[in-house]
Amino acid sequence: MTTVTGIGLIGLGTIGRSHARALDALRDRAELRAFSGSDAAATAEAGWPDAVQVPPEELNFRDDVDVVAICSPSGAHAEQALAALQSGKHVVVEKPLALTATDADRIVGLATKQGLTVSTISQRRLEPEVVAVRRALRAGTLGAVRLATTHVHWWRDEDYYAAAAWRGDPAGGGGSLMNQGVHNVDLLQWLAGPVESVTAQQATLAHDSAAEDTTVATLRFTGGALGLISTTTATPPGSPATLTLHCERGVVEIGQGEITRWDVDGVPAPQIGADGEGIGVGASDPTAIGLAGHIQQWRDILDAIAEGRDPAITAADGAATVRLIDTITTAARTGRLTTLKELR
């Protein structure tokens, strides 16, 4: 008999509703029992009319909640994750895990101490085209990475920022790097290897916002490769994000949901089967991002908890990405080359 895991959800904005709908697709494994934020109509629309609305702190003390899923504004993630862990709950945190490397490390440490599962949402790692490229890199099929780049050139209008004040507040997790670029930053370091040092510049070019809306950074990876990151919400009409790996034997480019270029000497492109669920592109509309990745990651998280193993994407994975973003922000603020070790 399959055990049904009780979920408590903090936050029912755009991404919180996506989590609720993803859980609806897994209702043989999980049940959304309580939530905070929005209203009962939102949970009913997402498939959970019987979920109970409670204050966020109450989720941590409900006996029918096994996992607290945090989909609140980014600036609250660390505090809410730590509170849930202290109360003995497993935790799922929508990206990012935290806003600073220090807070991310606190979450990792407390999860280990408590013996609890924490996973941060990095669903793009599970997309079949990303898995295929990762497998080829690890097998040596592509040779060594020499240059790794990712570009997230999106557009967000003023209505997007007006709808939620934190989106334009760096202290709340706003900004193109942390809010829009985080997934591709995560993929870049996961595929090309750990980053050793960065230089960076940031600017606010198109919005009345305290947070940057454009970031560029150069990277040096520990393996010797160089890299580039550019993120923006200031480039209408918005373009699909890309990640390109220039390797010893050729070049591979990953789009959103597909391999857009495979030019590797003597190596055919991997055959990626379609699962029919589709992956949306959020270049100009954040609501256009699909559910397939969230469903897949939630399935893995539920399996990991049931089996007593680590999930595919751990708190430590989330912390590594936060550390890289924190380092880029520090480099942009100080105007100097900054190593990741400086933030440990």
244-262 residues labelled b (16+ CB within 10 A) or e (exposed): bbbbebbebbbebbebebb
Q: How far is CA 338 from the centre of its chain?
A: 23
Q: Which position has the token pair 């895991």? A: 5
Helix (H) / strand (E) element for 161: namely helix 158-162
Question: Taking the CA of residue 76 as centre, how many other CA atoms within 13 Å lie in the half-sphere pointing to its CB?
Answer: 13
Residue 103 CA: distances (Å) to CA of 107, 183, 224, 323: 6, 19, 29, 10
How far apart CA 323 and CA 103 sit, in angstroms, is 10
Per-residue pLDDT of the chain (344 residues; tens, 9 = 90+): 568 999 999 999 889 999 999 999 999 999 999 999 877 888 899 999 999 999 999 999 999 999 999 999 999 999 999 999 999 999 999 999 999 999 999 999 999 999 999 999 999 999 999 999 999 999 999 999 999 999 999 999 999 999 999 999 999 999 999 999 999 999 999 999 999 999 999 999 999 999 999 999 999 999 999 999 999 999 999 999 999 999 999 999 999 889 999 999 999 999 886 543 444 545 545 555 568 899 999 999 999 999 999 999 999 999 999 999 999 999 999 999 999 987 66
Q: What's the token pair of residue 10? A: 């903090």
Strand partners for 122: none
DSSP per-residue letters across 163-182: T-GGGG-GGGT-SIIIIISH
User: What's the distance, CA 18 to chain centroid?
Assistant: 14
Task: Give the other-Cβ count within 10 Å of 109's Cβ.
Answer: 14
**What is the set of domains in the chain, with CATH numbers?**
5-123+293-314 (3.40.50.720), 124-284+322-343 (3.30.360.10)
Structure tokens at 47: 């498939």
Listed in sequence order, the residues at least 6 apart from 176 whose beta carbon sits closer than 8 Å to its beta carbon are: 152, 154, 211, 212, 213, 214, 215, 231, 232, 233, 234
Report the Cα 181 to chain-centroid distance in Å: 9
